[in-house]
Structure 1
């Protein structure tokens, strides 16, 4: 049915008047919502990505099962040097991870990056620290649903968009309720915290508008603008209850000594910070190495192991050791050397494609060089 729906939508676009009016509305909508980056639209396409409802239900169930396994890794990792080493958690990160956020979820707002085909649903990696795009996606959904071609399409198909901001607000409030011991006696003040002058500023404004529309006072600020008076985290005279932390740990560490208020308030337990510093445990790409490594199989139940085997790519922390691949014992370095056609090497704690080597796009000398670099670096992964 999905192919038929896509074909019908594409056929509607053959009507030049319908497609042109839709294009104008898309351009004007993206421009009005400031969803233009460096002159490039957030999406240049007139047809959004469609997913069948049954596929969405299946994907949701898989994600929930795998998330249960991720939560177990967090529970096992806190204070466990072996797992912390496997994840590549540094000494300063361990100190941050040791601070109790006063709620159980390791990463209340996260994104399991994945791809869905006719035959496969597979994860690529997990953005467990500060995933962007939720509010942008809401705005894009509203624009697409207003386009003439989508309205025409909806005459024959039941079209539902995703709404991320309501879910994000719900997540913040649930974490805050747990932080408060199960009872909230006021509407919390929410601060969206990140570095200044980032291209995601517009998304922060979209969140702020939504939070305030629903009765929650909201602020946008940087860690350098925060103050801690021993009792409250403050921005421009406003005491903050919930920090929606968009700031990455790797971005905070270099400025932490000069901007300590956020850490001091968090350590003192006077703010509910989402995500907490413990999200670093699952944000490291090595989290998939823990999920798929036979050494940690006993952490998970049968349903979790089945979901991991079916949907999480085989991953290992890249080092000179023996391991398992599909129940066979292999020398990891030699296995990697001989199987470039199905493997990638990637750094454990980078993003945006930085430092990745794709085996099937590499010549033999290039792949050999990548292996040597990864071994020397000491914090790389090999992934199928």
Structure 2
């Protein structure tokens, strides 16, 4: 069973070596200056950049990617291992409503689903712990490599990266490779494909400017990109078009949670029909989010299913996944003992966080150590039997970072590690990384909305 691991401060030898180098050699300039001056990065993150990158040693990055590949494969196997092959049963178990379930199971009958995801992790000083595994095409992070390149304009970092033989992955390039692999039948043989980056009407009103940047960047990877919302798609002869341009591939930026809206579901209907008739490619398939659902992690963590996995798989789950359970009247504690789950959660409030299974970006999360006992009890009681999970707290270890004025400070990181298919993108399936850093060691959710700053990562060495 997974239990809390002790904190070991200053996890990163490379991070400490970089801070020490800066302290020994006075340098002019600001590490994040180029990132702050980039219009593309400013649109995404304003000027909220860390004053240096994070580092993953060679063995460390290979180990976490190997574990993530195992967890991805286990999540994909849940319908067969736990639900007698039924996608509908898995969808119901993770909290999807009948409309979402119907759309997702329908989409699963078309094309292929090539691995692509972003794992959100904390490192507690002894190893990584998995908070969430977002499996979909709408992952963000398409500017990751831009942050790396901007940081490398700072001479001390450029010298450090070269001396330690560090490198980075182009996350957007990996995404596009995955799109081409998943939608191979829709890629024209004689011209660049036209790719529509599509979100719902409501979402596009907010994220449209960033999606236009995303669409424009596709030209660097051999595609013509157009950003639009679902309502802008029309279907002459059954093929989707935007502004008179016929679309070859729809890059999906809307999520399963958006499909509870009947209007969005109705706008999706002709697109799904076109996909079924092989008139357009859809990236990614809607059922991807079945496996990236927080409820799927609770199923994987549940003691009742341990007999379905072999010793190596269980070792990976125990190593990477903290105790995660649906909010139900009964369950097992981290020691495997059956308990009244509400009583357990009340007694261990400061070690637990409650999350809705169907929302993203920190929405709806209740952090046990940040609320009073009365609110914790009320929120737990309301969640019993619903689409919510409890997860054991991971305390992130401190990471040494430059402070931008010649010294250093400790930050606490949320690692966003991207995973693809190693046969498609190479490099063990590692598709890049970005980090969000907070100065608060008790932070419940390290997020931009919570005041965190963003940075890139280099790996190898």
| TM-score normalised by length of structure 1 | 0.86
* Deviation for aligned residue 1:267: 4.4
Report the Cα distance in structure 1 between the residues aligned to 2:171 and 2:53, rounded to whole angstroms: 16
Report the Cα distance in structure 2 between the residues aligned to 1:267 and 1:154, rounded to whole angstroms: 47
Matched, 1:140 2:119: no
Conserved? CA contact 1:101–1:266, under 8 Å = no
Conserved? CA contact 2:257–2:359, under 8 Å = no
* Deviation for aligned residue 1:131: 4.0
More strand per residue: 1 or 2?
Answer: 2
Q: 2:386 aligns with which of 378, 381, 384?
A: 378
Conserved? CA contact 1:101–1:272, under 8 Å = no
Matches within 5 A, 1:1-384: 3-14=12-23, 18-19=27-28, 21-23=29-31, 26-36=32-42, 40-43=46-49, 45-75=50-80, 79=86, 82-99=89-106, 100=108, 102-105=110-113, 108-154=115-161, 156-177=163-184, 185-186=189-190, 187-195=192-200, 196-199=204-207, 201-202=209-210, 204-254=211-261, 255-256=263-264, 259-260=267-268, 261-323=270-332, 325-375=334-384, 378-384=386-392
Q: How has the CA–CA distance of structure 1 residues 102 and 31 changed in structure 2, closer, same or farther, with 3 Å as cutoff?
A: same
Conserved? CA contact 2:130–2:322, under 8 Å = yes
Tell me the residue number matched to 2:433. Answer: none
* Deviation for aligned residue 1:34: 2.8
Q: How has the CA–CA distance of structure 1 residues 205 and 11 changed in structure 2, closer, same or farther, with 3 Å as cutoff?
A: farther
Conserved? CA contact 1:88–1:348, under 8 Å = yes
Q: Which structure's relative contact order is higher, taking Cα pairs within 8 Å and 6+ residues apart?
A: 2
* Deviation for aligned residue 1:91: 0.3
Q: How has the CA–CA distance of structure 1 residues 59 and 331 changed in structure 2, closer, same or farther, with 3 Å as cutoff?
A: same
Q: How has the CA–CA distance of structure 1 residues 81 and 174 changed in structure 2, closer, same or farther, with 3 Å as cutoff?
A: closer
Q: How has the CA–CA distance of structure 1 residues 75 and 243 changed in structure 2, closer, same or farther, with 3 Å as cutoff?
A: farther
Report the Cα distance in structure 1 between the residues aligned to 2:234 and 2:60, rounded to whole angstroms: 47
Q: Secondary structure at the match of 1:259?
A: helix
* Deviation for aligned residue 1:16: 8.8
Q: How has the CA–CA distance of structure 1 residues 231 and 354 changed in structure 2, closer, same or farther, with 3 Å as cutoff?
A: closer
More helix per residue: 1 or 2?
Answer: 1
Report the Cα distance in structure 2 between the residues aligned to 1:371 and 1:29, rounded to whole angstroms: 42
* Deviation for aligned residue 1:280: 2.6
Task: Flag structure 1 segments of 5+ consecutive residues without an equivalent.
Answer: none
> Higher mean Cα deviation, 256-265 or 280-289?
256-265
* Deviation for aligned residue 1:125: 0.9
* Deviation for aligned residue 1:155: 5.1
Report the Cα distance in structure 1 between the residues aligned to 2:265 and 2:363, rounded to whole angstroms: 27
Q: How has the CA–CA distance of structure 1 residues 319 and 191 changed in structure 2, closer, same or farther, with 3 Å as cutoff?
A: same
Provide, for residues 238-262 of structure 1, a one-character-per-residue CA deviation record: whole Å limited to 9, x for no partner.
2222211111233354232563443
Report the Cα distance in structure 2 between the residues aligned to 1:6 and 1:324, rounded to whole angstroms: 36
* Deviation for aligned residue 1:72: 0.5
Q: Secondary structure at the match of 2:30?
A: helix
Q: How has the CA–CA distance of structure 1 residues 89 and 155 changed in structure 2, closer, same or farther, with 3 Å as cutoff?
A: closer
> Higher mean Cα deviation, 264-273 or 10-19?
10-19
Conserved? CA contact 2:121–2:132, under 8 Å = yes
Report the Cα distance in structure 2 between the residues aligned to 1:331 and 1:81, rounded to whole angstroms: 29
Report the Cα distance in structure 2 between the residues aligned to 1:189 and 1:270, rounded to whole angstroms: 13
* Deviation for aligned residue 1:96: 0.8
Q: Secondary structure at the match of 1:67?
A: helix
